[in-house]
């Protein structure tokens, strides 16, 4: 791994200067300019170092309330937003949708309006409908963060993936990134395609025709249906979860057949560069899209590092969005 220059994390966190990310919410990666993405990644990097140093920054969000509103299951995203909020001193509430008044028929908009009346500052939303966080951002006062909406976007996942790539490869621009698997149902793929193409990567998508939407080529990627050809010379191999809960019948013949042609194993990985890294957003279907031998290979797999970066990225996002609040207050 290339050596990163030493960084004084607390000094970076205090730094004043131009703010390139000036939106109130974080709803999507699409439309963000390279300086805004770079600034979020630099701030995230300083939080990685801060977390590893054992220092804290609990005064930053003291008195602020963050509500995690997840209408879909989550382990990594929800937990890391909770950790990130607490590490910055916020009051964090995890709303359990399954035991909330949503079960009595309360609508998404009424639920959000209720939380808004409690003066929540940051609302982290995951929903199975694309566009739900965007809709909420128009009716609540809180800053809304999209934690994954339908098949649309998962912006903090793309940021943590980019941070992992940058730390491992020393750069993002110019890399060949192969995104493999169920692109059709993947908000992770969509956010990554927007971020990586914006930051100068050559992005390939690989998968069976049934799982690669035709319009993906319009996003500036090259489409492959043959795994060996798509992986040839790749610097980064990003596997996607097969999202069976969103699939219609017949999109894959069987899990066994899918693994044979599109599952990443040690043999298929030999097509990529010898120092290519392997990524997966999780949760993994071992033996379906990725073989355990590759997923657990400490020399190639960066899957656990992606999880660590998730906390730092979410701290940076909460910090950046609350800077808008602090500007308005001063």
Nearest to ligand CP of 40, 279 (CB atom): 279
Cross-sheet strand order for the sheet of 277-279? 222-224, 202-206, 176-180, 236-239, 277-279
Cα separation of 312 and 31, whole Å? 22
134 binding ligand CP? (CB under 6 A): no
Output the six-digit token pair for 254: 């069987």
Minimal distance, residue 76 CB to ligand CP, in Å? 4
Nearest to ligand CP of 233, 283 (CB atom): 283
Minimal distance, residue 54 CB to ligand CP, in Å? 26
Nearest to ligand CP of 49, 196 (CB atom): 196
Burial of 6 (0-12, 13-18, 19+ CB in 10 A): exposed
Minimal distance, residue 77 CB to ligand CP, in Å? 3
- Please report the DSSP string for 40-74 in residue order: HHHHHHHHHHHHHHT---TTTTTT-EEEEEESS--
Site size for ligand CP, by CB under 6 A? Answer: 9
Minimal distance, residue 122 CB to ligand CP, in Å? 17
3-state secondary structure (DSSP) of residue 293:
helix
Q: Which of residues 44-103 bind ligand CP (CB under 6 A)?
A: 74-77
Nearest to ligand CP of 13, 159 (CB atom): 159
Nearest to ligand CP of 74, 100 (CB atom): 74
The secondary structure of residue 301, as a DSSP letter, is B
Output the six-digit token pair for 147: 């934690």
Nearest to ligand CP of 148, 213 (CB atom): 148
List the x/- string, 148-167, binding to ligand CP by CB under 6 A. x--------x----------
- Please report the DSSP string for 17-34 in residue order: S--S---S-B--STT--H
Nearest to ligand CP of 37, 313 (CB atom): 313
Minimal distance, residue 69 CB to ligand CP, in Å? 14
The secondary structure of residue 145, as a DSSP letter, is E
Helices marked H in 143-265: 155-169, 187-198, 227-231, 255-262
Minimal distance, residue 310 CB to ligand CP, in Å? 8
Q: Which of residues 222-281 bind ligand CP (CB under 6 A)?
A: 281
Three-state secondary structure readout of 95-111: EEHHHCHHHHCCCHHHH
Among 34, 150, 220, 282, binds ligand CP (CB under 6 A): 282
Minimal distance, residue 284 CB to ligand CP, in Å? 10
Chain contacts with ligand CP (rule: CB under 6 A): 74-77, 148, 157, 281-283
């Amino acid at each position: 791994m290339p050596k990163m220059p030493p960084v004084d994390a607390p000094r970076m966190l205090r730094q004043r200067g131009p703010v390139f990310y000036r939106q109130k919410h974080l709803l999507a990666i699409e439309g963000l300019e390279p300086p805004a993405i770079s600034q979020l990644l630099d701030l995230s990097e300083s939080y990685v170092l801060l977390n590893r140093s054992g220092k804290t920054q609990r005064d930053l969000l003291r008195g602020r309330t963050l509500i995690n509103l997840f209408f879909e299951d989550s382990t990594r995203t929800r937990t890391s937003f909770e950790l990130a909020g607490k590490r910055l001193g916020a009051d964090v509430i995890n709303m359990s949708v399954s035991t909330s008044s949503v079960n009595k028929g309360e609508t998404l908009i009424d639920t959000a309006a209720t939380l808004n009346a409690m003066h929540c500052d940051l609302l982290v939303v995951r929903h199975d409908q694309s566009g739900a966080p965007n809709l909420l951002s128009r009716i609540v006062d809180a800053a809304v963060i999209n934690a994954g909406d339908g098949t649309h976007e998962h912006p903090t996942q793309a940021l943590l993936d980019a941070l992992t790539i940058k730390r491992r490869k020393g750069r993002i621009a110019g890399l060949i990134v192969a995104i493999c698997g169920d692109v059709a149902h993947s908000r992770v793929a969509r956010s990554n395609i927007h971020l990586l193409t914006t930051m100068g990567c050559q992005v390939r998508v690989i998968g069976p025709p049934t799982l690669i939407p035709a319009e993906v080529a319009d996003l500036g990627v090259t489409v492959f249906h043959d795994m060996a050809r798509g992986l040839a010379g790749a610097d980064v191999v990003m596997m996607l979860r097969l999202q069976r809960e969103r699939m219609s019948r017949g999109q894959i013949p069987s899990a066994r057949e899918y693994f044979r042609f599109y599952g990443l194993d040690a043999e298929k990985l030999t097509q990529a560069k010898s120092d290519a890294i392997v990524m997966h957003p999780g949760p993994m279907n071992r033996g379906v899209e990725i073989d355990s031998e590759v997923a657990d290979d400490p020399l190639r797999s960066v899957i656990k590092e992606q999880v660590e970066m998730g906390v730092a990225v979410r701290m940076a996002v909460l910090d950046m969005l609350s800077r808008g609040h602090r500007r308005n207050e001063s």
